[in-house]
């Protein structure tokens, strides 16, 4: 019997990680609702989904508007069917020191990144709770644990998403709900956010290396949507930042104070005609990748290891057994010679 296609909702689907994630689900033949503000990128992303074997429904919506997200969810279920997986990936950021950011800019970045996740989650829960099934994936970041300078609005929003998700997870456990909520913590990725996110820096913003391609994140998000893992970290830098901050937070503070500014800026000045998508969508299709293809990695050994724990454990046990056997043989030979 042929498996029924999954109905998947992806916010922030017009570019970057969200668009790469849509590509990954399209290969499964999923019915995918693509949500974002900019219709240019959405339309192209929808066509890509169809070419890859999926069904696409593109909806231009600002996730900061709770009523608009709710209306989109209603339309999705009417046209595609009951939602199986909801992925919250929409975000907005500002590259600048705190003292150069206005209250309106803080509010807007928070409304899109944090409240957009809340609105999406609420719309998904309204439908999933009635059926007692479904998966919600929050696309997070290592910056949800270790904040960095020049991105206070984004870091604050990611911290908030983690707190919100932890609280919701416990509530669902209390209800003995079968709805699964997970969070995927990403490393640095080569996405268009560094080309259109608002910046007040003197030079063009860039991700802190090492940098991964969006398809790596997409593989992690797809895996998290189909496994009951509480949290998934994608890329060793995310693991390093999260664990390092837990063990040595003051050392991390000092390192970031020295390196956190230059590490987030390239060598070229910010172009005068650079687009800015904080309050309005950019009228263009920026695709999936940013401008850092030449130095971005298409594979993460850490992601493979964390999604294949049983194989890693079996390999470790086998290696340990071989070492023990070799050691025992050496001791036996030594006794005979003695």
Tell me the CB-side half-sphere exposure of residue 161, using CA atoms within 13 A. 39
114 is catalytic: no
Tokens at residue 261, please? 């500014």
Distance CA 58, CA 66 (A): 18
If DSSP states are collapsed to H, E and C, what string results for 136-173?
Answer: EEEEEEHHHCCCCCCCHHHHHHHHHHHHHHHHHHHHHH
- H or E element that contains 18: helix 16-26
Torsion of CA 241, 206, 195, 223, to 10 degrees: -30
Name the burial class of residue 295, with classes exposed (0-12), middle (13-18) and buried (19+) by CB atoms within 10 angstroms of its CB. exposed
- Can you name the residues that pair with 186 across neighbouring β-strands? 141, 234
DSSP 220-247: HHHHHHTS--SEEEESHHHHHHHHHHHH
Tokens at residue 304, please? 């493979």
Choice among 154, 261, 286, 299 that is catalytic: 154
Ramachandran area for residue 125 (φ above 0: left; ψ -120 to 50: alpha; else beta): alpha
- Which residues are known to be catalytic? 154
């Amino acid at each position: 019997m042929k498996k029924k296609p999954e109905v998947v909702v992806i916010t922030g689907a017009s570019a970057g990680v969200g668009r790469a994630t849509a590509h990954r689900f399209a290969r499964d033949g999923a019915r995918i609702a693509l949500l974002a503000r900019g219709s240019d990128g959405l339309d192209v992303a929808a066509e890509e989904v169809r070419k890859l074997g999926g069904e696409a429904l593109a909806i231009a919506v600002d996730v900061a508007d709770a009523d608009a997200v709710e209306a989109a969810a209603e339309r999705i279920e009417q046209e595609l069917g009951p939602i199986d997986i909801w992925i919250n990936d929409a975000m907005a950021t500002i590259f600048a020191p705190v003292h150069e950011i206005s209250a309106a800019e803080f509010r807007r970045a928070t409304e899109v990144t944090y409240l957009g996740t809340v609105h999406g989650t609420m719309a998904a829960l309204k439908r999933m709770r009635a059926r007692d099934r479904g998966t919600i994936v929050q696309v997070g970041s290592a910056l949800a644990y270790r904040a960095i300078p020049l991105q206070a609005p984004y870091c604050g929003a990611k911290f908030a998403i983690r707190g919100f998700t932890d609280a919701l997870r416990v509530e669902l456990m209390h209800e003995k709900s079968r709805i699964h909520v997970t969070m995927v913590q990403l490393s640095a990725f080569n996405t268009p956010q560094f080309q259109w996110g608002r910046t007040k820096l003197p030079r063009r913003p860039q991700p802190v290396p090492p940098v991964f391609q969006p398809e790596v994140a997409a593989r992690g998000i797809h895996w998290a949507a189909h496994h009951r893992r509480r949290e998934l970290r994608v890329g060793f830098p995310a693991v390093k930042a999260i664990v390092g901050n837990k063990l040595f937070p003051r050392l991390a503070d000092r390192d970031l104070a020295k390196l956190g500014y230059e590490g987030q800026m390239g060598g070229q000045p910010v172009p005068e005609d650079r687009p800015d998508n904080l309050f309005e969508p950019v009228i263009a299709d920026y695709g999936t990748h940013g401008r850092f293809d030449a130095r971005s990695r298409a594979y993460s050994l850490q992601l493979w290891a964390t999604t294949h724990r049983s194989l890693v454990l079996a390999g470790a046990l086998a290696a340990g057994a071989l070492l023990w056997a070799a050691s025992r043989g050496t001791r036996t030979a030594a006794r005979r010679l003695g």
